[in-house]
Amino acid sequence: MADRGFKYRILFVDDEQVVRETSALVLTKLGFEVRTSEDGFAALVDLRLALPDLIICDLRMPNMSGFELLSIVRRRFPQIPVIAVSGEFVGEGPTGLIADAFFTKGQYRPESLVAKITELIQRSPMRSQTIKPDRAPVWVPVSERGYLVLTCTDCLRSFSIPPETSEEQLCEAECPFCLTKVCYLRTV
């Protein structure tokens, strides 16, 4: 994969150290530059240092899960292809997964993963020149319990709040982690 004069960068995110180290070793031997992170928060720090050409991410991790990380990545870096990996889901992965591909842990061969990596990198823009925004957009889905889930524009952590009952269209909530005021638009 280094045939264009540079090595493609992969960010591999998994909470299991053995999986991270083994995967990084295999992918490095195949010609990729590999960075690893143990959870979604660590991955966000890595993304501030250098954008990868592809992300491989476990879905179940402590602190910030792969689901939360993929939500942020899709909004801030839509040009980066993502492969989700999990041992908890079989087949095509969980419904609504926002990834370009899914692999079940322990049920795929490295050759299949490399073929998918190659396919996704070839379809994506090469070393995209997209400028990264300084702040993340606000994400406002409604949870099963009717609470709104917001993502802080500064620290990128998700938090839930009760739905607004006021007539105001423009609402504001305070991030419990960094105390940033997060504004969002309430739709009727």
Give the mean model confidence (pLDDT) for residues 91-116: 84
- Same domain for 40 and 113, yes or no, is yes
109-113-115-117 Cα dihedral, nearest 10 degrees: -170
- Same domain for 13 and 62, yes or no, is yes
Cα distances (Å, whole numbers) of residue 48 to 52, 132, 151: 10, 9, 17
- Same domain for 47 and 115, yes or no, is yes
Give the mean model confidence (pLDDT) for residues 108-118: 89
The per-residue pLDDT for 124 is 77
Among 55-59, 76-80, 126-130, name the one with the lowest average pLDDT.
126-130
The domain boundary residue, chosen from 66, 95, 123 = 123
Selection from 182, 152, 177, 180 nearest residue 164 by Cα: 182
Residue 86 maps to which CATH number?
3.40.50.2300
- Same domain for 109 and 164, yes or no, is no
- Same domain for 153 and 84, yes or no, is no
Instruction: For residue range 27-51, list pLDDT tens digits in order.
Output: 999 889 999 999 999 999 999 888 9
pLDDT at 66 over 70: yes
Higher-confidence residue of 93 and 77: namely 77
- Same domain for 103 and 13, yes or no, is yes
The per-residue pLDDT for 5 is 54
pLDDT at 137 over 60: no
* Number of independent structural domains in the chain: 2
* Amino acid identity, position 59: L
CB atoms within 10 A of CB 135: 11
- Domain interval for residue 171: 134-188
Give the mean model confidence (pLDDT) for residues 9-14: 96
Asked whether residue 1 is assigned to any structural domain, the reply reads no
Asked whether residue 138 is assigned to any structural domain, the reply reads yes
**Model-wide pTM > 0.85:** no
Asked whether residue 4 is assigned to any structural domain, the reply reads no
- Same domain for 113 and 144, yes or no, is no
Asked whether residue 139 is assigned to any structural domain, the reply reads yes
Instruction: For residue range 145-187, list pLDDT tens digits in order.
Output: 667 777 777 766 777 787 765 566 678 888 887 788 888 776 5
- Same domain for 117 and 141, yes or no, is no
Q: Give me the percent of the chain exceeding a pLDDT of 90.
A: 35
